[in-house]
Structure 1
Amino acid sequence: MMELDELRIFQAVLQEDGITRAAQRLHRVQSNVTTRLRQLEDKLGVALFLREGKRLVPTAAAWRLNDYAQRLLDLAEEARLAMADAAPSGRLRLGAMESTAAARLAPVLADYHARYPAVQLELQTGESRTLTVAVLDGRLDAALVSGPLDDDRLEQIVVAVEDIVLVAAAARGAPSLEELADSTLLTFGSGCSYRQRLEAWLRRQGVQPRRIVELGSYHAMLSCVACGMGLALLPQALLDSMPQMAAQVSTHVLPDDLSRAPTLLIRRRQARQPALQALETMLLECAWKGGGSLGAYANN
């Protein structure tokens, strides 16, 4: 019979890409990690990793097991906390889009730290696609991403509805579809939901942007827009939080199917912990609504 400790070791090896870093993360000797991993493989009757010298390559069976392992570990943690009737404490690993972290999260996290000092909250920023994968893999407990998402493994709660605007140089008027096609689009990487939204809309119009330049921060993006380098798609709330930068650019209304985007708090189904429940409650109390009601997105 599989043991929870074996599943924790298996996940550490999978997530850390090898025995050495997994042993460091678990504070175990490497030989113990290797032995317990082989014992798990013997119990299951399948190879979870292919050994190529010192390198371990996950098999298809390993990726199948990972989903079950996360569910079992989440359920065990939920049972432990239910029996302890614990107040929020321990580690909470939260992911967030950079725009959400910059424009909305700071006062919430400050209040959260004041209310729940026993919680060690870790924040990781990134693109929606990357954060979603991290939640599914168990590397994050929850994340704030742009939706909607179509994945039955996730619970999704709308905590904001963002007004999305097209940003151009201050002296520039609203670009036509032809001008959009001939413009440089300034974006994050391909995992950015706002970029995906804009590219999908352009494809529906039969337009292919002339050039896409990927940047690593909104400050850099707005600076480049202000200098006339190109156009960007941004949440209005982010511009409102950066008034000096916003004064150097112009904003333009987008078509209805581009102009509003729900921000979701996502977590694995059945993943329950007091620290996350407390944060969820605080986020809903904030009533982040962008330019309108959450009601239209309540069932996403």
Structure 2
Amino acid sequence: MLDPRLLRAFIAIVEAGGFTKAAERLHMTQSTLSQQLARLEDAVGQTLVDRDTRPIRPSAAGERLLGYARRIVTLQQEATAALGNPAGTAPIHIGLPEDIFSRSMARLFGEFSKRHQEIRLDVSAGLSRDLTRRYRGGEFDIVVVKEPAPSNDCRASFPESIGWFESKDALNAWPDPVPLVTFPPGGLYRETMFERIERERRRWYIAFSGSSFNNVLVAVEGGLGITLLPNAAALGRHVRPYAPFSDEAAIMVSIYAWENTGLIAELVEQIGAALSERSSRPGPS
């Protein structure tokens, strides 16, 4: 392995064209510099500079080594700088439902990261039931989930209104059986949809099952069926409330965190403020 200190001495001699200027550049004596070059030549088994020329020039072997030497020294400097910079060395793992990860939430995370450059945010989106399971298993430091009622250890909880939606292009009453647009089994709204539509004594079938909020909303916008969603998620989309069904009971959006100190507590507070603002917005009409 070639010692980067010896490579720096060799580079300095070639670039300065002599031992005197190179020694001044590296803040060492000429004898020390000569010893370092001699050690490097012993290591590679070849003479690297022509000591008889003025200015001193690299030998044929030295010319071949010079480019590699510069790259090795540069990489060592980059590695040293990277290891000495704490940016991104302290991860915070966050889980939250897909519709909660909005542009405003992304901006919140971005501003937090700028203030605390040592933090690396690792954010995962998914279904609330799976997020809860993973949080209880220790995969997340902070998790936001939707649930019928918060557990005793939640840090904060906010009501979220939910309602039935159809495409704005829907012209006539839906046929019997009515087509439903749903999340896959395990999705939070799926069972509530089935219970409600059966209480209405309506027959139904699943016309579309999407694994993301965007897929579900696009399917409803396209007229594939009706669905149950948070009112906030429907804002700005080409959907309207489905008049025959009134809103369902609000669901709770809860924040959980294993710690309540330091940067975790700061981030939980900011997420809570964003969710509070979100829950106060009126739904589409």
Normalised to the residue count of structure 2, the TM-score between the two structures is 0.57
The root-mean-square deviation of aligned C-alpha atoms, in Å, is: 3.1
Count of matched residue pairs: 193
Greater relative contact order (Cα 8 A, min sep 6): structure 1 or 2? 1
User: 2:109 — aligned with what?
Assistant: 109
Report the CA distance shift for 1:139/1:212 in structure 2 as closer, same or farther (over 3 A). Answer: farther
Asked whether the equivalents of residues 90 and 120 of structure 1 are also in contact (C-alpha less than 8 Å), the reply is: yes
User: 1:139 — aligned with what?
Assistant: 139
Q: Percent identity?
A: 18
Letter in 2 for 1:262: M
- Matched position secondary structure for 1:228: coil
- Matched position secondary structure for 2:189: helix
Report the CA distance shift for 1:282/1:255 in structure 2 as closer, same or farther (over 3 A). Answer: same
User: 1:288 — aligned with what?
Assistant: 277
User: 2:164 — aligned with what?
Assistant: 166
Tell me the CA shift for residue 123 of structure 1. 0.5
What's the CA shift string for 1:74-132, capped at 9, x where partnerless? xxxxxxxxxxxxxxx82211111011113652222122212222221111000010000
Asked whether the equivalents of residues 167 and 240 of structure 2 are also in contact (C-alpha less than 8 Å), the reply is: yes
Letter in 1 for 2:246: P
Tell me the CA shift for residue 197 of structure 1. 3.0
Tell me the CA shift for residue 140 of structure 1. 1.4
Correspondence for 1:196 among 161, 166, 191: 191
Aligned counterparts of 2:110 and 2:253: Cα–Cα separation in 1 = 20
What's the CA shift string for 1:129-150, capped at 9, x where partnerless? 0000001111112211112346
Tell me the CA shift for residue 292 of structure 1. 6.8
Asked whether the equivalents of residues 148 and 264 of structure 1 are also in contact (C-alpha less than 8 Å), the reply is: no
Aligned counterparts of 1:259 and 1:209: Cα–Cα separation in 2 = 21
What's the CA shift string for 1:16-39, capped at 9, x where partnerless? xxxxxxxxxxxxxxxxxxxxxxxx
Tell me the CA shift for residue 285 of structure 1. 3.1
Aligned counterparts of 1:288 and 1:90: Cα–Cα separation in 2 = 29
Letter in 2 for 1:147: E
Report the CA distance shift for 1:273/1:201 in structure 2 as closer, same or farther (over 3 A). Answer: farther
Tell me the CA shift for residue 210 of structure 1. 2.0
Aligned counterparts of 2:123 and 2:193: Cα–Cα separation in 1 = 27
Report the CA distance shift for 1:148/1:220 in structure 2 as closer, same or farther (over 3 A). Answer: closer
Aligned counterparts of 2:193 and 2:172: Cα–Cα separation in 1 = 16
Letter in 2 for 1:157: A
User: 1:233 — aligned with what?
Assistant: 228
Asked whether the equivalents of residues 182 and 206 of structure 2 are also in contact (C-alpha less than 8 Å), the reply is: no
Which one has a bigger Cα radius of gyration?
Answer: 2
User: 2:99 — aligned with what?
Assistant: 99
Tell me the CA shift for residue 267 of structure 1. 3.3
Aligned counterparts of 2:91 and 2:187: Cα–Cα separation in 1 = 27
Report the CA distance shift for 1:90/1:235 in structure 2 as closer, same or farther (over 3 A). Answer: same
Aligned counterparts of 1:102 and 1:285: Cα–Cα separation in 2 = 14
Aligned counterparts of 1:137 and 1:143: Cα–Cα separation in 2 = 12
User: 1:185 — aligned with what?
Assistant: 180
User: 2:156 — aligned with what?
Assistant: 157
Normalised to the residue count of structure 1, the TM-score between the two structures is 0.55
User: 1:223 — aligned with what?
Assistant: 218
Note if 1:252 corresponds to 2:242. yes
Asked whether the equivalents of residues 174 and 252 of structure 1 are also in contact (C-alpha less than 8 Å), the reply is: no
- Matched position secondary structure for 2:233: helix
User: 1:11 — aligned with what?
Assistant: none
User: 2:118 — aligned with what?
Assistant: 118
Asked whether the equivalents of residues 149 and 252 of structure 2 are also in contact (C-alpha less than 8 Å), the reply is: no
